[in-house]
Amino acid sequence: MWLLVGLGNPGRAYESTRHNLGWDALGEIGRAFGLSSGVSRFRGRFGEGRIGPHRVQWLMPETFMNLSGHSVAEAMRFYKVDPSRVVVYHDDLDLPVGKVRMKSSGGHGGHNGLRSIQQQLGTADFLRVRLGIGRPVGPIPVEDHVLTRFSPEERRVVEAMLSQLPPTTPLLLEGDLAGAMNKLANPSGVRRNPLPEGEKSPVSPPRVAPLPS
């Protein structure tokens, strides 16, 4: 069993912001593999399904970013998921817009969501998929930059980046991190699995208020 986590903030004010790129990634993966639509559980939006032979759960914490670890830890405890079988999709300031990097462990790099997860799990040994949002240009504070939306030009780059994620997911679940990174570097032949016109992704960002702590 695997737990796929997308980091973001709840509420319409945060939709499509840079800090919610983890939610966007999880939505793309859910659409590609037909994962179930979510329910309110574990202080977030939660669902499940299969990717190839693997049973997976997906989770979008609704605790706001700096408390994401509480949501993740509750789901992990309930399903007895080992940290090594958790994949966290999150925005990353240190990567240019449209770049993706993967790693099996490491520090939080100042990311409040990762910091919270590491604090609650007591370990940093979980998989991360780092999604580039770029650093602010000029005097814009970082805390403001992450809550801005992408420009139309950036959004096109981001959509192309998100389309590369589903083909890497089965490789991650097989423990083939090198293969997943190679797929990102050589995406030729990758095709998206679009939904019929007018149909929405089964994994959609939650719109409900965060549950009380």
Catalytic residues: 19
How many Å apart are CA 42 and CA 88, to the nearest integer? Answer: 16
Contact call for residues 124 and 142 (beta carbons, < 8 A) = no
**Cβ neighbours, 10 Å, residue 43:** 22
How many Å apart are CA 54 and CA 50, to the nearest integer? Answer: 5
**Cβ neighbours, 10 Å, residue 95:** 16
Could you tell me how far CA 91 lies from the centroid of its own chain? Answer: 8
In 36-124, which residue ranges form alpha helices assigned H by DSSP?
Answer: 68-79, 112-121
Contacts of 7 (CB under 8 A, 6+ apart): 19, 22, 23, 61, 65, 68, 88, 89, 90, 91, 113, 114
How many Å apart are CA 16 and CA 30, to the nearest integer? Answer: 17
Could you tell me how far CA 206 lies from the centroid of its own chain? Answer: 14
